[in-house]
């Protein structure tokens, strides 16, 4: 998924230190997963936001697909780079307490599979905010509604995806649901039925400190500006609606 080109710094190559470094982009939903995992575990890290429209050479040398997030792990005076959000979150889960994946193998496999569902949904979200006209937007909304219906059936009674423990699945879905907090503020999608398990889950995720800290205070405005630059139907609806009140 391609994201915004501006409002990012262009750092020099990070110098090896003792802390983990998360190479990020301010709007990237996959980065948010890694930040949430790091914060849930209370691990100190440095976040470096880069410009994905002008990728630094050091980043391209470390990230085979040229994508954020990238986790730089200090090792013997240099950095080892871990790429792909799932690999990063799994690495953090294997090295830092508390465990965010369930211990039971079948339940863990189910959680890993649902992380993939969250990733596939991010592709659909991209199609939603780039849909060229009202008919395409509505077609994507209906696809999303079918997905959201699946989640409602898969969700535990709560508060989290699998029950009473926050997990990596929660970290993977939180950025998906955050999009709709912003989109619904100017064009209601009616994807989350009031009183549903999904509504309660979305509220719990939005209030979770690790989730709130995964984006900067200007996120909602920056996301709307980014969507408006896509010049699709949702961007037009955003331009014609009042400014978002910041919720993050």
Q: Which is nearer to ligand GSH, 87 or 142 (CB)?
A: 87
Q: Which is nearer to ligand GSH, 3 or 21 (CB)?
A: 3
Q: In what order do the strands lie in the sheet with 78-83?
A: 45-49, 20-24, 70-75, 78-83
Of 84-92, 161-169, 183-191, 239-247, the window that binds ligand GSH (rule: CB under 6 A) is 84-92
Size of the site for ligand GSH (CB under 6 A): 15
- Alpha carbon of residue 156 to chain centroid: 21
Which residue in 52, 71, 72, 205 binds ligand GSH (CB under 6 A)? 52
- For the bound state, the minimum distance from the C-beta of residue 76 to ligand GSH, rounded and expressed in Å, comes to 25
Which residue in 17, 42, 64, 66 binds ligand GSH (CB under 6 A)? 66
Q: Which is nearer to ligand GSH, 68 or 167 (CB)?
A: 68
- For the bound state, the minimum distance from the C-beta of residue 2 to ligand GSH, rounded and expressed in Å, comes to 5
- For the bound state, the minimum distance from the C-beta of residue 13 to ligand GSH, rounded and expressed in Å, comes to 18
Reduced to 3 states (helix: H, G, I; strand: E, B; else coil), residue 104 is coil
Of 167, 159, 141, which Cα lies nearest the Cα of 203? 159
Residue whose token pair is 């993977």:
172
Give the start-end residues of each E strand in the chain. 20-24, 45-49, 70-75, 78-83
Cα–Cα distance for residue pair 221/170, rounded to 1 Å: 24
Reduced to 3 states (helix: H, G, I; strand: E, B; else coil), residue 167 is coil
Q: Contact 71/22 with Cβ under 8 angstroms?
A: yes
39 lies in the binding site for ligand GSH (CB under 6 A):
no
Q: Which is nearer to ligand GSH, 52 or 140 (CB)?
A: 52
Q: Contact 20/73 with Cβ under 8 angstroms?
A: yes
85 lies in the binding site for ligand GSH (CB under 6 A):
yes
211 lies in the binding site for ligand GSH (CB under 6 A):
no
136 lies in the binding site for ligand GSH (CB under 6 A):
no
Which residue in 20, 24, 30, 40 binds ligand GSH (CB under 6 A)? 30
Reduced to 3 states (helix: H, G, I; strand: E, B; else coil), residue 239 is helix
Residues that bind ligand GSH (CB under 6 A): 1-3, 25, 28-30, 52, 66-69, 84-86
């Amino acid at each position: 998924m391609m994201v915004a080109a501006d409002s990012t710094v262009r750092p020099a190559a990070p110098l090896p230190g003792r802390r983990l470094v998360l190479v990020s982009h301010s709007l990237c939903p996959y980065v948010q997963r890694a930040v949430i995992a790091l914060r849930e575990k209370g691990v100190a890290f440095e976040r470096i936001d880069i410009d994905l429209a002008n990728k630094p050479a050091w980043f391209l040398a470390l990230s085979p697909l040229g994508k954020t997030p990238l986790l730089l792990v200090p090792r013997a005076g240099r950095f080892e780079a871990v790429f792909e959000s799932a690999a990063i979150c799994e690495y953090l889960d294997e090295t830092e307490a508390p465990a965010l994946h369930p211990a039971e193998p079948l339940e863990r496999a189910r959680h890993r599979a649902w992380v993939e569902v969250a990733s596939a949904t991010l592709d659909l979200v991209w199609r939603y905010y780039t849909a060229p006209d009202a008919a395409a937007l509505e077609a994507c909304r209906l696809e999303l509604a079918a997905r959201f219906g699946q989640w409602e059936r898969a969700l535990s009674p709560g508060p989290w995806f699998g029950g009473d423990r926050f997990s990596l699945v929660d970290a993977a879905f939180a950025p998906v649901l955050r999009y709709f907090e912003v989109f619904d503020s100017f064009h209601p999608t009616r994807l989350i039925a009031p009183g549903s398990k999904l509504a309660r889950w979305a509220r719990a995720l939005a209030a979770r400190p690790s989730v709130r800290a995964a984006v900067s205070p200007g996120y909602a405005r920056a996301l709307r500006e980014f969507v408006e630059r896509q010049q699709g139907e949702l961007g037009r609806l955003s331009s014609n609606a009042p400014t978002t009140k910041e919720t993050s």
